[in-house]
Amino acid sequence: MRARSGRKVIGLLTGTFIAFALPAAAQDIQFATFPVEGDTAYAQGELGEPTPAIIEKLLKDNPGLKKIVMTNVPGSDDDEANIKASIMVHEHGLTTYVPASGMIASGGVDFFLAGKERVIEEGACIGVHAWQDDDDPTPSSELPRDHPGHKVFLDYFKKIGMDEEFYWYTLRVAKFDDMYWLSTEELLKYGVVTKIIAPPEGTSSFQLICDHR
């Protein structure tokens, strides 16, 4: 199984809560929840095996949903499941959004890319690195471009209209056990975001560096 997993930093938000029973082996993973307020869902936690079912229910129960705010989504423990969920988000034309105090990394960035509009506030942290296959210790950055391990990501990028050069870039800039935080220039160069905005007036300044979020 391929995984782009970052740090597991979990919290709770008020609102509609969507929950699923998980196999015993998955009980130690704090999977993402998507509480809803109005036309907005708030994503917080690790993406993975249950995420497609959660997103399917989220969309079914909230037909007026317009936006997913990603407050802290540090990665995915199952990239195939994450991409399946991300395609649902893309096909529904939702906006993905990261606030100034927010952090997305690894598979969380793959999910963010599904947004029709991809908006971040100044100060948001966007982290990328290479993936690793549980059955093959070879770094993904060292696999040839025609290796079948790349296909699920390249197919996904094509599906959502993302330049595959960004995929190759994420493999180069950091190993699986490290994280690279993208600059504003890189976010715009590769089309990761469609808009960067100032935080709402009155928002407290958020000074923590990305590695400490």
Q: Give the tokens for residue 21.
A: 């029973």
Pick the closest to residue 84 from 152, 31, 37 (CA basis): 152
CA atoms within 13 Å, Cβ hemisphere of 85: 29
Q: First and final CA of the chain: distance in angstroms?
A: 27
Q: What is the CATH number of the domain that holds 55?
A: 3.90.226
Query: Which pLDDT belongs to residue 136?
Result: 77
Total domains in the chain come to 1
pTM: 0.85
Average pLDDT along the chain, 213 residues, taken 10 residues at a time: 42 32 50 96 96 98 98 94 98 97 96 98 95 83 93 97 97 94 96 94 64 74
Domain extent, residue 129, equals 2-212
Rounded to whole angstroms, how far apart are CA atoms 15 and 1?
33
Task: List phi, psi (to 5°) of 97.
Answer: -150, 135
